Amino acid sequence: MAWIPWHSVVSLETGPICQRTAPCAVADSSKGHPRPYHTAVLTFFKLALSAAFATAIGASSYAQSLEPATADARRASQGVTVINGYSQHWWKEAVVYQIYPRSFQDSNGDGIGDLNGITSRLDYLKNLGVDVIWLSPHFDSPNADNGYDIRDYRKVMTEFGTMGDFDRMLAGIKKRHMRLIIDLVVNHTSDEHKWFEESRKSRTNPYRDYYIWRDGKPNPNAPNGFDPPNNYNSFFSGSAWQWDETTRQFYLHLFAVKQPDLNWENPKVRQEVYSLMRFWLDKGVDGFRMDVIPLISKTPGLPDLTPGQDAVKLWANGPRRDEFLQEMNREVLSKYDDMSVGEAIGIDLPGTHSLVGEDRHELSQIFNFDATRIGSIGGYIYRPLHLPELKAVYTAHATILGKQDWDTSFLGNHDMSRVVSRWGDTSTPELRAMSAKLLQTMVLTLRGTAYLYQGDELGMTNYPWTKISEFNDIEVQNRFKTEVAQGKLTEQQLISGAAAYGRDNARTPMQWDITKNAGFSTGNHTWEPVNPNYLQINAADQVKDPDSIYHYTQKMIALRRSDLAFIYGDYQDLDPKHEQVFLYTRSLGASSYLVILNFSSQPIDYTLPQGIQAKNLKLGNYRDSSDLAGATTLHLRPREARIYKN
């Protein structure tokens, strides 16, 4: 969601770990469900491949679990390979690349990216080393919130193409031995969805209870004679309640007015959701990224918020949330070889296990935003990055999350400003490139499934916004109508804040080459403006340049894939208080890596702690190392990143 401002068949071919070890569901085209012999065949191949792979890499030497032996034995008896106490799954080993379809590639000149455009660029992603593509919403939508307001879950948005285009894209992804996950937006729908159109017709309509309707509080001075049922505010400013004159009640919308919240207390709603999930899984998609999924269970009675109460935590921890997700897992997710990742707003780190623990049977993983929100004061106001604070987040994750849990590693998505502009140095082309490579190094060596956002492999930057009219984001527009109009912000303060941290920065068109509109579209207008720096930052130039960010990311992905230490290995921060250098290890059995990141734009002479030596340099973002193997003091250059095998 956008509120934060802030089954391929089993193959014995050689390929990435996550593709070699993960058989997928084989669907019966006549029924669209797993074939009767699916379970037996899947189990046989999975056991055979897991045993062969474990022998090849010596996985038994890594199975030093910190969990009770009985837990490992139980999972082994179920045909699951256990490495360092973690169950082995393809989605843990994957590198996921998020595509925001409106901004990736336009194939027909209308200025809007589409599915055929994505299909035309699949070789680019395959060559980069991507395992999984995450496709942001592609469903039919009136686009009040750029596709997160869904009108029809079984139809492709007209601007993006047709279902035939989707099927060709999916076939192209599978042909290249990649996988696809799609967004699942089921906390709310569009107010143009047929369910809501029926729901608002009358209080006795069969679809009435698909949504959350309430009487207002009588107030003769209110425009309609009633105040909203409670004091909830929308994420997008203003009341979270909208008056509907036809039935003279309010409906709840935690997001935009055109995004009414579904009533998950109604079992018919839940079955509708499970049905549409099966529809896409039976087509062959490999899972879902679940938009604001913790919000599906509302507090009984919907009481007013008390002064100082954290609304997001309240909404994200409803009493039936886990019951609903366990039902979803039991009825849908557990039937497929899929992955699920939840956008876990309102979930703190100790609460993560409830959603992702293997014993919980809910989701595969969640996005926790503790790291990316560092420095947030509120709205678009942020403090500069304080590196020890960032390190503390990752140490907390490594300490609090157990072997039954799984993490995610990411620094960008469609709801954030460009990471190189946020945490890097873009003052010179050289520092921007080194900053981007350093940040990619961090994402791809930290614990958890790695997620990259489109354009970050090129070091794309924020756009130079100067006017409110340039912004497309509903959040910016609503803040202008409310906070600026009410005198809480000046127009220039809003522009400056949104320019630095707004979501539109991630949504400007992908910069492919130096032709018109950066090769994104042949049209005369693009839905978001093209960053004028496309002449200097574009994919065509970087694919030809062996020293580019693109090629560095490619090498980094290959290094990550080459050793399971980067996946299942332990993490240790070796110098947590240093304010410029991030030094940590990833270790699995006899395999250990030392990662050194200089977050400063100045050179630093850095003495390794604890008598550590930097031994075998595996990869760095400068062409050569300034230090000999075995050095204990390193001469780090600005924004330098190095990975040693020790």
Q: How high is the pLDDT of residue 19?
A: 38
Could you read off the pLDDT of 460-493 as tens digits, one per residue?
Answer: 999 999 999 999 888 898 889 888 999 999 999 9
Same domain, 161 and 134: yes
Same domain, 178 and 209: no
Strands in 132-135's sheet, in edge-to-edge order, are 365-367, 339-343, 287-290, 179-184, 132-135, 95-99, 449-453, 408-409
Q: How high is the pLDDT of residue 62?
A: 38
Q: What is the maximum span of the chain, computed from C-alpha positions, in angstroms?
A: 80
Q: How high is the pLDDT of residue 26?
A: 35
Share of the chain above pLDDT 90, in %: 83
Q: Of the candidates 62, 88, 114, which is a domain's last residue?
A: 88
Computed over every residue of the chain, the mean pLDDT equals 90
In a domain, 146, yes or no: yes
Q: How high is the pLDDT of residue 70?
A: 54
Q: How high is the pLDDT of residue 80?
A: 87
Specify the range with the lowest mean pLDDT, choosing from 8-22, 70-84, 410-424, 504-518. 8-22
Could you read off the pLDDT of 149-164 as tens digits, one per residue?
Answer: 999 999 999 999 999 9
Q: How high is the pLDDT of residue 73?
A: 58
Domain range for 209: 194-252
The Cα–Cα gap between 562 and 560 comes to: 6
CATH of the domain at 374: 3.20.20.80
Q: Which of 230, 224, 223, 193 is nearest to 210 (CA)?
A: 193
pLDDT score of 35 more than 90: no
In a domain, 170, yes or no: yes
Could you read off the pLDDT of 319-337 as tens digits, one per residue?
Answer: 999 999 999 999 999 999 9
What mean pLDDT do residues 95-121 have? Answer: 98
Q: Which two tokens stand for residue 73?
A: 């034995």
Q: How high is the pLDDT of residue 624?
A: 87
Same domain, 182 and 200: no
Q: How high is the pLDDT of residue 77?
A: 59
Same domain, 327 and 418: yes
In a domain, 560, yes or no: no
Q: Which two tokens stand for residue 279?
A: 């529809």
Same domain, 170 and 99: yes
What mean pLDDT do residues 437-444 have? Answer: 98
Could you read off the pLDDT of 607-617 as tens digits, one per residue?
Answer: 999 999 999 99
The Cα–Cα gap between 508 and 526 comes to: 9
Same domain, 220 and 145: no
Q: Is the pTM of the predicted complex or chain greater than 0.85?
A: yes
Same domain, 608 and 507: no
In a domain, 259, yes or no: no
Could you read off the pLDDT of 174-201 as tens digits, one per residue?
Answer: 999 999 999 999 999 999 999 999 999 9
In a domain, 528, yes or no: yes
Share of the chain above pLDDT 70, in %: 88
Same domain, 208 and 103: no
CATH of the domain at 621: 2.60.40.1180
Q: How high is the pLDDT of residue 75?
A: 63
Question: What's the domain count of the chain?
Answer: 4
Three-state DSSP at 220 gives coil
pLDDT score of 46 more than 50: no
In a domain, 559, yes or no: no
pLDDT score of 401 more than 70: yes
Same domain, 247 and 300: no
In a domain, 57, yes or no: yes
The Cα–Cα gap between 344 and 527 comes to: 29
What lies within 8 Å, CB to CB, of 469 at 6+ separation is none
In a domain, 13, yes or no: no
Same domain, 316 and 404: yes
Better-predicted residue by pLDDT, 438 or 380: 438
What mean pLDDT do residues 227-254 have? Answer: 96
Please return the burial class of 246, using the count of CB atoms within 10 Å of its CB with bins 0-12, 13-18 and 19+.
exposed
- Which residues are catalytically annotated? 291, 343
Same domain, 389 and 441: yes
Same domain, 401 and 428: yes
pLDDT score of 48 more than 90: no
Helix (H), strand (E) at residue 172: helix 163-175
The model's confidence at residue 74, banded by pLDDT at 50, 70 and 90, is low
Most confident of 17-26, 34-43, 305-314: 305-314
Q: Of the candidates 88, 121, 141, which is a domain's last residue?
A: 88
Q: Of the candidates 498, 516, 549, which is a domain's last residue?
A: 549
Could you read off the pLDDT of 548-559 as tens digits, one per residue?
Answer: 999 999 999 999
Q: How high is the pLDDT of residue 379?
A: 82
Q: Which two tokens stand for residue 433?
A: 């490139």
